[in-house]
């Protein structure tokens, strides 16, 4: 597999990705490490949160040090967010995630990506989708979760969730264009959460990445530390729950970035691999 029309962002080759899915198009960007690294590469797939306010290029710049470690970085918007048309739902996002994995598998067959080194980096609601994905497949090497959304039922039933969506649609139009009717969206999400495959109390016992880590802000009021410990104490090593002092749920602030990047880089550092 070779991509036509090579483009570069600094030293990194960049390829636009468009994957057909259910008569729609899943769009993203694939960043390759510099030419000093040889194929096949390990890959990190980024699962964004709700809403997704950063451009894919901004996210890539935030995690450029992973490219400098030799990773390929795959960034995309789930359907209904920003670049992508479609309806936002748990089912659609899980379907999108499976499509992305299928695309990555195709690259492993062409010796572009290391088959045993497919990794996920997820933030906020992207963590919930990543956990569901890991309950359905057993080929993820490492899963890193930053300020996860875990007790989704609690959030959906909170009136502030409805107010947040209304605010985004009014003042930040286009970021979650896949929600046209808020009440219908909330009702449908509640229906989805009744299904075992989308219920965290059910699927947490089925997740099978080889290694996991959670990074949580000390001041995160959306997902308190006690909630992280409740869901992960039985499935993750205690040392792999990192609490960053003074960080809240909005983790990409200047005062938090250095510590956050240190935690991310230490988890994915290639030199530390067995």
> Where do the structural domains in the chain lie, given as residue ranges?
7-151+204-272
Mean pLDDT of 119-134: 98
Mean pLDDT of 142-166: 96
Token code pair at residue 273: 């691999």
Give the pLDDT confidence score for residue 7 in this predicted structure.
86
Q: How confident is the model at residue 149 (pLDDT cuts 50, 70, 90)?
A: very high
Mean pLDDT of 113-136: 97
Give the pLDDT confidence score for residue 3 in this predicted structure.
57
Give the pLDDT confidence score for residue 184 in this predicted structure.
97
Q: How confident is the model at residue 2 (pLDDT cuts 50, 70, 90)?
A: low
Q: How confident is the model at residue 257 (pLDDT cuts 50, 70, 90)?
A: confident
**Residue 198 in this model has a pLDDT that exceeds 90:** yes
| Percentage of the chain lying above the pLDDT 70 cut | 95
Q: How confident is the model at residue 239 (pLDDT cuts 50, 70, 90)?
A: low
pLDDT, tens digit, 9 for 90 and up, residues 261-273: 999 999 998 764 4
Give the pLDDT confidence score for residue 233 in this predicted structure.
82
**Residue 200 in this model has a pLDDT that exceeds 90:** yes
Q: How confident is the model at residue 20 (pLDDT cuts 50, 70, 90)?
A: very high
Give the pLDDT confidence score for residue 272 in this predicted structure.
46
Entry pTM: 0.94
Give the pLDDT confidence score for residue 1 in this predicted structure.
47
**Residue 5 in this model has a pLDDT that exceeds 70:** no
Q: How confident is the model at residue 274 (pLDDT cuts 50, 70, 90)?
A: very low
The whole-angstrom separation of Cα 263 and Cα 115 is 25
pLDDT, tens digit, 9 for 90 and up, residues 51-101: 988 999 999 999 999 999 999 999 999 999 997 999 999 999 999 999 999
Lowest mean pLDDT among 29-43, 51-65, 225-239: 225-239
In CATH terms, is domain 7-151+204-272 a member of 3.40.50.1820? yes
Give the pLDDT confidence score for residue 10 in this predicted structure.
85
Cis peptide before 51 (omega within 30 of 0): yes
Provide the CA 132 distance to its chain's centre, in angstroms. 12
């Amino acid at each position: 597999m070779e991509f036509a029309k090579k483009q570069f962002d600094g030293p990194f080759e960049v390829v636009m990705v468009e994957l057909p899915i259910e008569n729609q198009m899943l769009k993203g960007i694939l960043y390759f490490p510099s030419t000093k690294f040889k194929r096949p590469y390990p890959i990190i797939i980024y699962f964004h949160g709700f809403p997704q306010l950063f451009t894919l290029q901004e996210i890539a710049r935030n995690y450029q040090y992973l490219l400098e470690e030799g990773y390929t970085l795959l960034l995309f918007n789930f359907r209904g967010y920003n670049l992508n048309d479609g309806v936002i739902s748990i089912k659609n996002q899980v379907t999108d995630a499976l499509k992305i994995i299928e695309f990555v598998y195709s690259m492993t067959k062409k010796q572009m990506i290391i088959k045993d080194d497919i990794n996920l980096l997820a933030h906020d609601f992207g963590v919930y989708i990543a956990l569901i994905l890991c309950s359905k497949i057993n080929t993820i090497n490492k899963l890193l979760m930053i300020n996860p959304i875990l007790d989704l039922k609690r959030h959906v039933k909170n009136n502030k969730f409805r107010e947040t969506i209304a605010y985004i649609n009014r003042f930040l139009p286009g970021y979650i264009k896949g929600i046209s009717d808020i009440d219908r969206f909330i009702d449908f999400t509640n229906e989805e959460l009744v299904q075992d495959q989308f219920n965290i109390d059910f699927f947490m016992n089925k997740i099978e990445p080889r290694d996991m880590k959670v990074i949580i802000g000390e001041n995160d009021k959306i997902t308190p530390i006690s909630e992280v410990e409740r869901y992960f104490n039985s499935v993750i090593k205690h040392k792999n729950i990192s609490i960053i002092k003074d960080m809240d749920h909005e983790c990409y602030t200047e005062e938090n970035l250095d510590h956050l990047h240190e935690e991310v880089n230490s988890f994915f550092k290639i030199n530390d691999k067995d």
